Amino acid sequence: MKHGFDNEKYVKIQSSHIKDRIAKFGNKLYLELGGKLFDDHHASRVLPGFQPDSKLRMLSQLADHAEIVIVISAVDIEKNKVRQDLGITYDMDALRLRSEFQNRGFRVNSIVITHYNGQASADAFRQRLERMGIKSYVHYIIDGYPANVGLIASDDGFGRNDYIETEEPLVIVTAPGPGSGKMAVCLSQLYNEHKRGIEAGYAKFETFPVWNLSLRHPVNIAYEAATADLNDVNMIDPFHLDAYGEKAVNYNRDIEIFPVLDALFRGIYGANPYKSPTDMGVNMVGFCISDDDVCCDASRNEIIRRYFTALNRMALGESNDAEVNKIALLFNQAGIDLSYRKTIAAARARSKETGVPCSAIELADGTIITAKTSPLLGPSAALILNAIKHLAGIGHDVKLLPQDLIEPIQHTKINYLRSRNPRLHTDEVLVALSVLSPRDENCRRALEKLPELDGCQVHSTVMLGEVDHKIFKKLGVGLTCDPAKKK
C-alpha cells in the first residue's frame, strides 16, 4: 500500500493538542468523541497509512489522566437498534466498548442512558448493568431541546439529569453510534459542574470532515458519501469565516446547532469560549497528510465503493434510492465516473466473455488480475489465488490446490453441513493453502504475498456473502459488487 498519511505524527500532535485544550479550561475537559474509536476502516481507506486503531493509540497517551463515559439512547435500546458493521445491538455494543476500553488500560466511569422517558427496556438494561456492577446514570428528554435554551439551562432541564461524578481532567464521552446524545451529556455536565463551582470545558473530536482541507477535497466528499444515509452535508463554516476571515469546513448539523450552543454556553457561563463550531474541534488529521495525491485517489475509490454499497442495500430492500442518488451527485463534485475504478470494467468484460460471475483486482503496480466462477471455486476465492500466484511469480497454469483436496471439502459442505453451494469460499481456500504450505513451496510463497493485497481494489459482478466480505476487509482490500444476486 502506498501511504499518504503520517500515522506517527498524528498520534503525537493530536494527543498534544488535546492536552493543550484541557489546560485551557482549568484542567477539566469533556471531550465528545465522534466516529469510531476502534476499527476506523473509513479513515484508513481514505487516508492510507492511518491505522484503524490510531485514535485509540493517541488516547492511550492520555490514559493516565482520563476516564470514559459511554452513552446510549433509551430510544435505541427500545428499538433494538443494530450496529450494521458488527451485527450487534447498541446495548450489546455499549458493553463491548466498555470491555475493549478496560482491556486497553482505560478507566470506564459509567454508562449513561439518554432520552430516558420511563422505557421498560431501558429500565431492564439498567438493572442488568447493576447486576454486573456497572455504574449507570439516566438523562431525561427535555421538551424543546435544543432550541428551548431557557428550559434546558435550568434546574428543570439539565439540572434534572443525574450528575455524573468524575475525577480525571479528561472525560471522554463516546457511544455505539450517532444520535446517542453525547453532546447533550457533555453540556449537561458543564451545567451541573458549574453549579458545584467547577469550571469545566467542552471540545469535540471528530475526524471528518477535515476542517483545513477544501470543501471539494476528495477526502471530504468521501465523508459525505459515507454519511449519505444521514443526509449530512459539508459546508463552509460561516461563523469561522466571519470571526477569522478564514475558510474552514464543517458539516450542516454542527453549523445549525452552533447558535443554540452559543446561547447555552452564555446561559451557563455568561460567555462562549468559542467563536465557531470549528473552534470546538480538536482534529489535527489535516496536518498529517504526507501525500495528497495518494489520499485523493483512495478517497475517489471510496466514493465509488459507497455508491455500490448503497446499490447493494437497495437491491436487498434495506434502503431506497435516495442514498444512491445523493452519492451519484457526489461523483460530479469529485470529477469521476465508474470508469475511474478500473476493476469494474475488467470484471464485467470477463463476465460477458465467460457468461459466469467474475471478479477483478488492481494490484499496487496497476496490474489487473481477473477470475471467474468455476465448479470448484467462487469468483472471490479464485481471484485471491490468481493474485497471490502472480505476486509470487507462480505460473497461472500451476494448481495450488489439487482437485483431490478440494473435492473432500466440498463433500463435507454438501453432505454434512447441508450447504447448497459446493464452491469453496475465500476462508476455506486460505485454510487449505495453510495446511499445504509446510510441504508445498508454492503454497508457502503464495501465502506470504497476502499482505501485498492491502490497499488493493476489487470488483465482483455479483453480491458476495458475508464470509467473503469479511476476508477482503481483513486483508485491507476495497471491495465493490454489482447489485446482482448469485443464481
Assess whether pLDDT exceeds 80 at residue 122: yes
Spatial separation of the C-alpha atoms in residues 208 and 178, rounded to whole Å:
14
> What mean pLDDT, rounded, does the chain reach?
93
DSSP state of 48: T
∠ CA 378-384-386, rounded to 5°: 95
| 164, HSE (Cβ side, Cα atoms, 13 Å) | 32
Amino acid at 151: L
Going by pLDDT thresholds of 50, 70 and 90, the confidence category of residue 232 is confident
H or E segment and range at residue 107: strand 107-116
Average of per-residue pLDDT across 50-54 = 88
Assess whether pLDDT exceeds 80 at residue 1: no
Query: pLDDT tens, 36-51?
Result: 777 778 999 999 999 9
Q: What is the pLDDT of residue 487?
A: 58
Query: pLDDT tens, 246-275?
Result: 999 999 989 998 998 899 888 888 899 999
Instruction: Supply the pTM of this predicted model.
Output: 0.89
H or E segment and range at residue 94: helix 90-103
Query: pLDDT tens, 395-410?
Result: 989 999 988 888 888 8
Q: What is the pLDDT of residue 319?
A: 82
Average of per-residue pLDDT across 277-296 = 97
Specify which of 35-39, 125-129, 469-473, 482-486 reaches the highest per-range mean pLDDT: 125-129
Spatial separation of the C-alpha atoms in residues 114 and 178, rounded to whole Å:
13
Amino acid at 212: N
With the C-alpha atoms ordered 257, 263, 267, 271, is the resulting torsion angle positive or negative?
A: positive
As given in the structure block, the three cell numbers for residue 425 are 469460499
Q: At what angle do helices 466-474 and 379-392 cross, to 10 degrees?
A: 20
Q: How far is CA 19 from the centre of its chain?
A: 25
Provide the Cα torsion 83, 86, 89, 91; round to 10°.
-100
Q: What is the pLDDT of residue 85?
A: 67
The β-bridge partners of 107 are: 67
Closest CA to 58 of 41, 33, 86, 23: 33
Judge whether 141 and 117 are in contact, CB under 8 Å: yes
Judge whether 401 and 385 are in contact, CB under 8 Å: yes
Spatial separation of the C-alpha atoms in residues 59 and 308, rounded to whole Å:
34
Phi, psi of 198, deg, nearest 5: -110, 120
Residue 366: count of CB within 10 angstroms of its CB: 7
| 310, HSE (Cβ side, Cα atoms, 13 Å) | 21
Report whether the peptide linkage leading into residue 483 is cis, meaning its omega lies within 30 degrees of zero: no
Tell me the three-class secondary structure of 379-422, residue by residue. Answer: HHHHHHHHHHHHHHCCCCCCCCCCHHHHHHHHHHHHHHCCCCCC
Judge whether 338 and 328 are in contact, CB under 8 Å: no
Query: pLDDT tens, 418-446?
Result: 888 888 889 999 999 999 999 999 999 99
Q: At what angle do helices 426-436 and 403-411 cross, to 10 degrees?
A: 130
Q: What is the pLDDT of residue 183?
A: 93
Instruction: For cell 482490500, name the residue.
Output: 477
* Helix boundaries (H) for 62-176: 74-79, 90-103, 120-131, 149-152
The length of the chain is 487
Task: Catalogue all structural domains in the chain, each as residue range(s) with its CATH number.
Answer: 7-288 (3.10.630.10), 341-481 (3.40.140.40)
Count helices and strands (H / E) in the chain: 20, 14
Lowest-confidence pick of 130-139, 170-179, 411-420: 411-420
Tell me the three-class secondary structure of 230-279, residue by residue. Answer: HCCCEEECHHHHHHHCCCCEEEHHHHHHHHHHHHHHHHHHCCCCCCCHHH
Residues with Cβ within 8 Å of 75's Cβ and at least 6 positions away in sequence, in order, are 115, 119
Average of per-residue pLDDT across 203-209 = 94
As given in the structure block, the three cell numbers for residue 354 are 465467460
Question: Got the DSSP string for 175-244?
Answer: -SSTTS-HHHHHHHHHHHHHHTT---EEEEE--SS-TTS-TT-HHHHHHHHHTGGGT--EEE-HHHHHHH
